[in-house]
Structure 1
Amino acid sequence: MTPLGKLLERIALDAGAAILQIYEVGCKISCKKDGSPVTEADQRAEAIILDQLAVAFPNIPVVAEEAVASGHIPDVGRGSFFLVDPLDGTKEFINRRDDFTVNIALINEGVPTAGIVCAPARRCAYVADEGRAEKLHLCRDFEIEQRQAIRVRKRGPDLTAIASRSHSNAGTEAFLRGQGITEYLSVGSSLKFCLLAEGKADVYPRFGRTMEWDTAAGNAVLECAGGSVVRLDGSRLLYGKRMQLEDSDFANPHFIAWGDMQPCEEQNIADRK
């Protein structure tokens, strides 16, 4: 992994270790202005990440979920910036399920080019940079025990979808029917992108609201593993979306995350002949 990737690893693992300490003893839960839950773990992890990013990259702005909720939104312009979700899957964390994650991504000209998704309770992480994606297996002390290069699987005739545990809806069900998909996995947080990246499923449809910090790190991992994330019109999902007429700053439209799309494209060509 590159120096940037290794630095993101260390920051995310430090934040993940702090989250797990709180997870094991429990913590108080409060609500933000939008009614979504927030915990001490969210706040402590974000402080760790922001402090370390400020030291390593003092000139690159950081858009972080809890800071944005408090009204601190940097000017990202058209340049590079980081997107941070210190605890993606807060509901999973609260409900004692292990698929919550730490997400950090670097955005360059709207594209997530590097990122890490750390799942502390699962003792694993997924990191990506410069077109390479790896799964990290972690020891109990959060040192890296093993690195494993990952790649999306070749798409076959029968697709397996992965869907949100908490946010499946009629749009998702219609997409699955339209693709003839009957087999699907259910998991929370940005791990959905990572399971596509390591070849355990083929597609993740999201017909519900997400924010850029929810998806950027997983998007980076998936693209570096050979996958893609597209809007419903087929265009690439981009980041740094401000002044949106239809939604708030940094909100995503509906999207489809794919593993290997090539067989689908070949089939479309065949259908036109």
Structure 2
Amino acid sequence: MNQIDELINISIEAGKAILGYYDEEIKVTRKEDDSPLTKADLASHNVIVNSLKELTPDTPIISEESGIPAYEERTKWRSYWLVDPLDGTKEFIKKNGEFTVNIALMEEGEPVIGVVHIPAKKITYIGQKSIGSHKIDQEGNKTRILSSRPDKDQPVTIVSSRSHGASDTEDRLEEMGFKVGESVAAGSSLKFCLVAEGVADIYPRFGPTMEWDTAAGDAVFRYSGKDEARYSPITYNKESMKNGEFVIGHE
């Protein structure tokens, strides 16, 4: 079994661990930054971290639930895993199905493999440098997904956060030369995937995110170009690991 298949299986097992808590009353605690934390986050974290340690014992792992290693240590890493065990905890709490398991392999500051698994829908997106991006449906059928740069002369479809919408998004995009025709709401890193498969043209994010929120979905987007990788403005292994504002898909 190759590495990408191993990662898909790990994400599926993590998804099963999450769904083990989905039908019961979800108890929520708060982390230091006031973001929500559930038993499902920790269960998924344990599945992924233990599995990755077995798969690649010498490769460091950063998970949202494991804390951030010192910058001085991280800058020496050539490669590492970047994981969000349950992206879209707010969507999980709302039980709307739009939460994901995110696993990315980082090399030299960019995501070279990304797996985004949607446990409630049994759908998985994968992006891999040099191979491209694919979608695996509920029956296990694997299909190449492609995206292209939007035409500024035509109204664009944007994907917006279901839980973190910005009121001035359309105005700011118009300043960039885009007229918004339609807006599709989605949770978690699904937003990257919807751009990668051409359901939406642009994903603007004018609020803060962390690197583990974006890495796997960013890989799915980057490698959805037909002939070459798509441009992404997001950089990784920053000192704070906090992302600034970004717009995905406009270039």
Match of 1:76 in 2: 74
Which secondary structure state, in structure 2, belongs to the residue aligned with residue 86 of structure 1? Answer: strand
Write the distance in 1 (CA, Å) between the matches of 2:2 and 2:171. 43
Deviation at 1:25, TM superposition (A): 2.6
Which secondary structure state, in structure 1, belongs to the residue aligned with residue 21 of structure 2? Answer: helix
Write the distance in 2 (CA, Å) between the matches of 1:21 and 1:203. 34
CA contact (8 A) 1:219 1:228 kept: no
Q: How is 1:25-174 mapped onto 2 (pairs within 5 angstroms)?
A: 25-68=24-67, 75-77=73-75, 78-131=77-130, 132-139=132-139, 145-153=140-148, 155-156=150-151, 157-174=154-171
Write the distance in 1 (CA, Å) between the matches of 2:32 and 2:147. 39
Counterpart check, 1:257 vs 2:248: yes
Match of 1:191 in 2: 190
Residue type of the partner of 1:146? N
Write the distance in 2 (CA, Å) between the matches of 1:203 and 1:128. 18
Percent identity over paired residues: 40
Deviation at 1:168, TM superposition (A): 1.7
Write the distance in 1 (CA, Å) between the matches of 2:138 and 2:20. 16
Write the distance in 2 (CA, Å) between the matches of 1:118 and 1:191. 9
Match of 2:232 in 1: 229
Residue type of the partner of 1:209? P
* Residues paired across the two proteins, number: 240
Residue type of the partner of 2:165? S
Write the distance in 2 (CA, Å) between the matches of 1:228 and 1:200. 18
Unaligned runs of 5+ in 2: none
Write the distance in 2 (CA, Å) between the matches of 1:172 and 1:12. 32
Deviation at 1:5, TM superposition (A): 1.3
Moved more, 122-131 or 218-227: 122-131
Deviation at 1:123, TM superposition (A): 1.5
Match of 1:234 in 2: none
Cα offsets for 1:132-161 (capped at 9, x unmatched)? 11101135xxxxx21111111463422111
Which secondary structure state, in structure 2, belongs to the residue aligned with residue 239 of structure 1? Answer: coil
Residue type of the partner of 2:124? A
Write the distance in 2 (CA, Å) between the matches of 1:155 and 1:169. 21
CA contact (8 A) 1:63 1:73 kept: no
Which secondary structure state, in structure 1, belongs to the residue aligned with residue 141 of structure 2? Answer: strand
Deviation at 1:182, TM superposition (A): 3.0
Unaligned runs of 5+ in 1: 140-144, 231-236, 243-248, 262-273
Write the distance in 1 (CA, Å) between the matches of 2:231 and 2:203. 10
CA contact (8 A) 2:103 2:216 kept: yes
Residue type of the partner of 1:186? A
Which secondary structure state, in structure 2, belongs to the residue aligned with residue 225 of structure 1? Answer: coil
Write the distance in 1 (CA, Å) between the matches of 2:223 and 2:167. 30
After superposition, the Cα gap between the structure-2 partners of 1:228 and 1:122, relative to the gap in structure 1 and judged at 3 Å, is: farther
Deviation at 1:171, TM superposition (A): 4.4
After superposition, the Cα gap between the structure-2 partners of 1:96 and 1:73, relative to the gap in structure 1 and judged at 3 Å, is: farther
Write the distance in 1 (CA, Å) between the matches of 2:25 and 2:127. 31
Which secondary structure state, in structure 2, belongs to the residue aligned with residue 228 of structure 1? Answer: coil
After superposition, the Cα gap between the structure-2 partners of 1:73 and 1:24, relative to the gap in structure 1 and judged at 3 Å, is: farther
| TM-score normalised per structure 2 | 0.90
Moved more, 170-179 or 117-126: 170-179
Residue type of the partner of 1:253? G
The root-mean-square deviation of aligned C-alpha atoms, in Å, is 1.8
Write the distance in 2 (CA, Å) between the matches of 1:27 and 1:16. 16
Deviation at 1:228, TM superposition (A): 2.9
Cα offsets for 1:66-110 (capped at 9, x unmatched)? 111xx6668322411111000000000001111100000011111
Write the distance in 1 (CA, Å) between the matches of 2:211 and 2:124. 19
CA contact (8 A) 1:63 1:82 kept: yes
| TM-score normalised per structure 1 | 0.83
Which secondary structure state, in structure 1, belongs to the residue aligned with residue 160 of structure 2? Answer: strand
CA contact (8 A) 2:149 2:249 kept: no
